[in-house]
Structure 1
Amino acid sequence: MPAPELPPPRSSLPEAAAHFGAHVLASAAARAPDVKAATGGTPGPLSVPAPPAGHVPAPPAVPVAAPPSPAAAGEVAPVPDAGLERLLRGPSGLGTAGLRLILQKAPPVPAAAPLPAPLLSPATRAAGAGAVVDRAEGTPVPGLYYHPVAEPDPERVEEVSRRIKAWAVDEVSLFPDDWEKEFDGFSVGRYMVACHPDAPTVDHLMLATRLMVAENAVDDCYCEDHGGSPDGLGERLLLAHTALDPLYTTEEYQPRWAESLGADAPRRAYHSAMEYFVRAASPSQADRLRHDMARLHLGYLAEAAWAQLDRVPEVWEYLAMRQFNNFRPCPTITDTVGGYELPADLHARTAMQKVIALAGNATTIVNDLYSYTKELDSPGHHLNLPVVIAEREGLSERDAYLKSVEVHNDLMHDFEAEAAALTEACPSPHVQRFLRGVAAWVDGNHYWHRTNTFRYRLPDFW
């Protein structure tokens, strides 16, 4: 069945940033080159590896509408950084035919429900944070600042769920039969459809879905409850990383490395997911992902070191680790999944890196909060923000949890403020679309955690 045309993703940026001045958009549109001249025609279908025997073909890609005619050229607003000028000439690369230069007004967000005053600091209350009442299943963390999202398209969820299980079982033999219930309960199809509402096809969604499953396999099997251990973790992560960042060695030893890629389920999953990704991504996008995966693995090693030392870090040290061991690789590929490319020079800018880091930090604290009870019920001593705050700052479990909610809210407000400032400072259609995609990922991540009642339940602190 054809993948349905989706509306533009709802942004969690403040309204002033999501709909900034029309004169900025007009000047950007006036500089936009003809897409066909820049790309040689409409982008072709996504290239992916040949499917295994019996694999059901992907739904056909939805035709992408041509962009609106450029506005009449007018006086160009001053650009704060001269180095940006060449980057503001409009869209180019994969998927730009579908890039809307004029942002559509997002649907209204339901009014925030009032919260008990003790749950939030005065600064957070003054900023208007609060849980939003909506109809989705699951209970949101009281006092948590978040934005509701539209229910993920059920047809896409069903198709992504079917394809990812076929990939996990038939292509990479990811898990034994007795893990099937847990795999199904992860609801990764619903997760990725919620996080990437602007993905043009199911094929694009699958790029993110395979990587998400592979990353969780590495975490579970190398670090966590399914055989993971801090002992020898560095060696395992290094060898797994070569499935993402290939080894180039001598002719004598290259075959041994190639054979090692199938040595265990996490490496098989990493290798396969990355093979699909590099066929769809530009070299710059692929290298960006490898870099962020290296960051993730560095965070795993820091947490493993604390486990070996039986040490609870200081709160600031824990938050430093969480800036690396976090969800960053997921929103950083939002342009590839969306079928376009944020130019490398724009992605590398300090302000953009700060926005992406804050998004990763906030979404990871969401995981700490929703998985808190699950981790307490698991064997061993699991570090999460409430546990670290309780031990290092001498607070009760309840007070440490509520303070963690405030930390999350502060990170979210910082993310939105920095994204708004970047949008105004760099009026590129690429930047607008990428930031909308990151914001949609932040909101979709919360939606999945809140609604995944198979995995998570809240502590009884209220």
Structure 2
Amino acid sequence: MPDPGLIPQSGLPSAAAHFGAYVLANAQAHATADLDAMPAMPAMPAMPDLPDLPGVPAVPGIAAGAVVPADVPVPVRAPAGGADSFGDPGVLDRILRGPSGLGTAGLYLTEDREAEPVAESAPSPTVPGNPVPGLYHHPVAEPDPARVEEVSRRIKAWALEEVELYPEEWEEQFDGFSVGRYMVACHPDAPTVEHLMLATRLMVAENAVDDCYCEDHGGSPIGLGGRLLLAHTALDPLHTTEEYQPHWAESLHSDAPRRAYRSAMEYFVRQSSPSQADRFRHDMARLHLGYLAEAAWAETDHVPEVWEYLAMRQFNNFRPCPTITDTVGGYELPADLHALPAMQRVIALAANATTIVNDLYSYTKELASPGRHLNLPVVIADREGISDRDAYLKAVEVHNDLMHGFETEAAALALACPVPSVLRFLRGVAAWVDGNHYWHQTNTYRYSLPDFW
């Protein structure tokens, strides 16, 4: 990965001015989502609207994804949980008010733009597969077939030609994963196919690490920490001495997971802001910590308490995927707003709910695999001494509680902080949640439901 450029050494005033101009230029570029500099992409049909999220309003007179001009008053109301939901009660007000004082007037971005119209499409009445009975979810429209085909073509070319991800005998499994359909369903507001590819490469790379280091294709809990650490340096590059740098750089090509991580991250940092890239690295570190906890339990044959399992699943979960919804959408949720405790809670609840969806749909697949796989129904049955069926049905209830919590907290945050980028991000996360369920339900190549009804 290229090393970041250094700011030339100079006096403090000129250095500060240089840095301010740099930040402003980048903020302007990301806020206006200027796609003119990107390579031309084949024309695609209009995108469907983002789904409605209960309680998340639109902002009258401001296009989705636009920057709020400095002279537009933004109402601020306390969330349902009170000021403590944002930590310091003055933090949200300060963020929305923006910078003040001598020389800060030029930091406000006042340019607005009209959002391109998107086509409205009703959810398809019938889709492949059956949803888990009693599972709270929202049906979605069938993903655009032209985009699915193009993303599927590009991701397979990337996997085979750029990173040599898998041998020929794994091709059927790669195709059966249907990652193109998955990502198009999860990111309906992606402005181009290349934006969709940012998420698609990362998804495939994450699954390669999981399969080859942890699971089906040679994975093992033994020595996992060392493998994950070295793979993580493909996302978060090593800064070391001139003597040892080449050895590290060479190691990034030594196995398929590291090749995939390195390449996917290089594409991502070209399109994302430094803040978005660092946010993703943080969430991948969370993911790897969850992998290690699960591996430690496997080595000691330990079945955790239900709450312990849910704690592990808050880290070993889908969180890196919805957290990049703004990058894939071609805009940026500012770092201060992303870091709000209320926003972090919304993202965590969404990621936790989507991960339990995976536990439920992959239940029979994991039972048929060698060894013992921990998932929520298995842990509930073991720890609470109930039947497999009752444990599965209770896991459905846990998912539904998490989903209702996600929607309640998202609605409270939308009312408290109705900034266009916040509202669009919340709707984007909701779209990811719905698309993730759609993929699990319809991927009959991978999943089938237990006979509990």
TM bucket (normalised to shorter chain) is 0.7 to 0.9
1:8 corresponds, among 25, 46, 49, to 49
2:291 corresponds, among 293, 300, 305, to 300
Structure 2 matches for 1:40-439, cutoff 5 A? Answer: 77-78=75-76, 81-86=92-97, 97=113, 99=115, 134-439=125-430
- Name structure 2 gaps, 5 residues minimum: 1-41, 79-91, 100-104
Letter in 2 for 1:6: M
Letter in 2 for 1:86: R
Q: Secondary structure at the residue paired with 1:289? A: helix
Letter in 2 for 1:135: T
Shift of 1:243: 0.2
Residues 262, 403 of structure 1: alpha-carbon distance in 2 compared, 3 angstrom cutoff: same
Q: Secondary structure at the residue paired with 2:315? A: coil
Residues 104, 397 of structure 1: alpha-carbon distance in 2 compared, 3 angstrom cutoff: same
Contact 1:240 1:270 in 2 (8 A): yes
Contact 1:328 1:360 in 2 (8 A): yes
Residues 173, 98 of structure 1: alpha-carbon distance in 2 compared, 3 angstrom cutoff: farther
Letter in 2 for 1:18: V
Contact 2:74 2:96 in 1 (8 A): no
Distance in 2 between residues matched to 1:220 and 1:30, nearest whole Å: 41
Residues 314, 10 of structure 1: alpha-carbon distance in 2 compared, 3 angstrom cutoff: same
Match in the other structure for 2:69: 32
- Name structure 1 gaps, 5 residues minimum: 34-72, 110-132
Residues 309, 427 of structure 1: alpha-carbon distance in 2 compared, 3 angstrom cutoff: same
Contact 2:68 2:420 in 1 (8 A): no
Distance in 2 between residues matched to 1:320 and 1:185, nearest whole Å: 30
Letter in 1 for 2:347: I
Distance in 2 between residues matched to 1:96 and 1:443, nearest whole Å: 30
Distance in 2 between residues matched to 1:98 and 1:376, nearest whole Å: 51
Residues 278, 9 of structure 1: alpha-carbon distance in 2 compared, 3 angstrom cutoff: same
Q: Secondary structure at the residue paired with 1:2? A: coil
Match in the other structure for 1:18: 56
Shift of 1:18: 2.9
Contact 2:139 2:438 in 1 (8 A): yes
Letter in 1 for 2:432: W
Shift of 1:269: 0.2
Q: Secondary structure at the residue paired with 1:461? A: coil
Shift of 1:92: 9.0
Distance in 2 between residues matched to 1:222 and 1:256, nearest whole Å: 21
Shift of 1:19: 2.9
Shift of 1:29: 8.2
Residues 391, 242 of structure 1: alpha-carbon distance in 2 compared, 3 angstrom cutoff: same
- Percent identity, aligned pairs only, is 74
Q: Secondary structure at the residue paired with 1:259? A: helix
Match in the other structure for 1:36: none
Distance in 2 between residues matched to 1:195 and 1:3, nearest whole Å: 17
Letter in 1 for 2:47: L
